[in-house]
Amino acid sequence: MEKKDKTILPLDIDQTSFFYRFRDLHALQEEINVFLEDRNFMKTRDFAHKVMFSQEIKSNNNIEGYLDDINLVKNIIRHPSNVLNEEQKRRILNLYQGYQYIAHHKDVNPDTLKELYTLLSFHLLNDYEQTTMGEYYRQNPVYIYFSDRMDVEPEQGIEAAKIPEKMQQYFDFYHQPLASQDQASIYIHSQILHFFFCAVHPYYDINGRTSRTMSMWYLLNHEAYPFIIFNRAIQLDKSRYYKVIREGKKYHNITYFLKYMLQNGLVELEKEYAMQEIAANSSHRLSAADYQTMYYILSMKGNWTLADFATFYNRLNDKKSFKQIYDSMLVSLFDKGILIPSKKTNRFINETQNQFFTFAPNKIEQDKELPHLCLKK
């Protein structure tokens, strides 16, 4: 299906096929495959399950604008009866149950997608959305909003009558044999599925979470376990994520979407390797909050100070005070010797003097294996 430098996909909207330029992705594919060669700890189902529950639940919801703290996610999964906010509880438990479903079912077809969507959307659809759903997909138009601004017009999803045909294309492509079974090629296939599901928009709501969960399902079924972390990358750059989806739909060229997913996926793999090295060099057991803190630090592009960490944290979680963030996220890693304080600044926050910090030198070092991370000295 190749023409010059294009890979033409058997997926179309309004009889215009989508394509991508494979030569623009080749170097990234090679870099990812080389990076993963000796990273065997990421290539197990146990690793996939570890990051799915509950880190990827948080990230998948975060993309939709829900800023649930990692400890809250874990508490809701363990003790749902203690949570009074029904909508908050449902969006977390639904993903948890959806992930359990894809972890234990291999068959992917319209009926199993219907079962998955029933889990993901349980008690989250309004009366109109429930009563006008067809056997499998929506029966009426849907509008897709990418901005809160009133002057930005929403896009309209494809006509409801065309959805069964397009979803059949989706399932045919899902089961299409791959020319290459390397990890990056599997990941690319999963992200083409991700994009096309978003383009079809078969439901009134929960399309994004379903599309990303379906891509995770593909990765699980093809044992491409390292890439289960792909939701984490999107949550850090959501505006560009939605932009490359819109542009891919407009021009039928999904090269930039795939490049975005590959570039960010590689950075996330490096972060995961760095966190594994830190954990391996620590004599202490690390909690989910410890991993979340390390992940945020590795994702920060500016200064590593207490105040900068608090600002970054509040971007991705329901806002907390500086003291709450310091006590719940940072203190543990200072006590365990993973983080060490550095010079102080002239700024005070609630009577606490702001200061720089870094990872302890004996825990992790910047090296040529992590070219996309900046581990500050």
Q: Within the chain, what is the greatest distance between any pair of CA atoms?
A: 65
Query: Looking at residue 377, what is its pLDDT?
Result: 62
Q: Is the pLDDT of residue 349 over 60?
A: yes
Average of per-residue pLDDT across 188-203: 98
Using pLDDT thresholds of 50, 70 and 90, give the confidence band for residue 370.
Answer: confident
Average of per-residue pLDDT across 178-191: 96
d(C-alpha 121, C-alpha 116), whole Å:
9
User: What's the CATH number of domain 284-359, 3.30.70, 1.10.3470, 1.10.760, 1.10.10?
Assistant: 1.10.10
> Does 284-359 match 2-274 at the fold level?
no
Average of per-residue pLDDT across 89-97: 97
Query: Looking at residue 150, what is its pLDDT?
Result: 63
Contact call for residues 265 and 227 (beta carbons, < 8 A)? yes
Contact call for residues 89 and 73 (beta carbons, < 8 A)? no
Contact call for residues 294 and 219 (beta carbons, < 8 A)? no
Which of 260, 259, 335, 339 minimizes the C-alpha distance to 296? Answer: 339
d(C-alpha 192, C-alpha 9), whole Å:
9
DSSP E strands: which ranges in 68-121?
A: none
Query: Looking at residue 152, what is its pLDDT?
Result: 67
Q: Is the pLDDT of residue 1 over 60?
A: no
Query: Looking at residue 116, what is its pLDDT?
Result: 98
For 231-281, write each residue's pLDDT tens digit.
999 999 999 999 999 999 999 999 999 999 999 999 999 999 999 999 999
d(C-alpha 91, C-alpha 123), whole Å:
9
CA atoms within 13 A on the CB side of 374: 7
Which carries the bigger pLDDT value, residue 157 or residue 44?
44
Average of per-residue pLDDT across 147-169: 85
Which of 300, 317, 313, 316 minimizes the C-alpha distance to 356? Answer: 300
Average of per-residue pLDDT across 8-26: 96
User: What's the CATH number of domain 2-274, 3.50.50.60, 1.10.1740.10, 1.10.3290.10, 3.30.1330.10?
Assistant: 1.10.3290.10
d(C-alpha 93, C-alpha 87), whole Å:
10
- Mean pLDDT (the chain, rounded): 93
Q: Is the pLDDT of residue 300 over 90?
A: yes
Every domain of the chain and the residues it spans: 2-274, 284-359
Handedness of CA 10, 11, 17, 23 (dihedral sign): negative
